[in-house]
């Protein structure tokens, strides 16, 4: 384990379903991130949280809704997704939200929308 | 906006050959550059971090160089092994920006 745990590892959902992805870290980090990784594309930053406050929403559709109830947990709530949303969703954390920080990544959730 | 490009997209070599992976970025005003490894279906593991003031960084068989003025970094992996098969991504921090910009990665296959 890398220190950042993501569940579930795999998720298949229909376009009308509602599901949530979970990310947990006990590294004492104060910044957490959601990334989307599609095949052969660079990682796309979706959301950034610092000290439980959202500081970045990178033009993400409203069918993705993040939640950070405390500094150790981050959720991504999903509803009414489209097939093009199928991807690997990665959570990461860093000690603080400043440039140059080293990231710790989770193993990701492989999402398939049918 | 920082654009990060990695060429080639895929590479296959026989075991024992040295690997050379390239990364280029459009904005040379960077804070640091990082190389990551990603195994299939897994998250990213940090390999090397080069500060903008450094020219290279080494860890075991891995050596990364940085030429900030030309917007390039190269990752060298000496005497490749089948266990080196993975996707390698580079990412840069621009100065005055807390966000990492990633390349799409180079997928390496080392044949036994």
- B104 and A90 within 8 Å at the Cβ level: the answer is no
B20, pLDDT greater than 80: yes
Contact A77, A60 (CB under 8 A): no
Q: For Cα atoms A55, A3, A81, give the angle at the middle one, nearest 5 degrees.
A: 55
- A40 and B41 within 8 Å at the Cβ level: the answer is no
B68, pLDDT greater than 70: yes
Q: What is the mean pLDDT of chain A?
A: 93
Q: Could you tell me where the DSSP H helices lie in B4-45?
A: none
A24 touches chain B (CB under 8 A): no
Please report the residues numbered 8 through 27 in chain B whose beta carbons come closer than 8 angstroms to any beta carbon of chain A. 9
* Cβ neighbours of A53 in B, within 8 Å: none
What is the tens place of the pLDDT at every residue in A39-95?
889 999 999 999 999 988 888 999 999 999 999 999 999 999 999 999 999 999 999
B104 touches chain A (CB under 8 A): yes
How many whole angstroms separate alpha carbon A25 and alpha carbon B16? 38
Q: For Cα atoms A21, B99, A26, give the angle at the middle one, nearest 5 degrees.
A: 45
Find, in chain B, the residue whose alpha carbon is nearest to that of A46. B99
Residue B45 token pair: 């593991």
């Amino acid at each position: 384990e890398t220190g950042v745990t993501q569940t579930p590892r795999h998720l298949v959902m229909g376009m009308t379903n509602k599901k949530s992805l979970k990310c947990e870290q006990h590294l004492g980090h104060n910044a957490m991130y959601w990334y989307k990784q599609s095949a052969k594309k660079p990682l796309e930053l979706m959301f950034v949280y610092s000290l439980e406050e959202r500081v970045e929403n990178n033009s993400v559709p409203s069918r993705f809704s993040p939640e950070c109830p405390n500094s150790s947990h981050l959720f991504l709530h999903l509803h009414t997704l489209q097939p093009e949303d199928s991807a690997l969703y990665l959570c990461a954390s860093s000690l603080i939200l400043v440039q140059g920080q080293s990231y710790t990544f989770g193993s990701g959730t492989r999402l398939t929308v049918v | 906006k920082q654009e990060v490009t990695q060429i080639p997209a895929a590479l296959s070599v026989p075991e024992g050959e040295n690997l050379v992976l390239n990364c280029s970025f459009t904005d040379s005003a960077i804070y640091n550059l990082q190389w990551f490894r990603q195994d299939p279906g897994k998250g990213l593991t940090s390999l090397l971090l080069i500060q903008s003031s450094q020219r290279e960084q080494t860890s075991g068989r891995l050596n990364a160089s940085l030429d900030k003025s030309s917007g390039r970094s190269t990752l060298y992996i000496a005497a490749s092994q089948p266990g080196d098969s993975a996707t390698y991504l580079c990412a840069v921090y621009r100065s005055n920006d807390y966000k990492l910009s990633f390349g799409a990665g180079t997928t390496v296959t080392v044949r036994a």
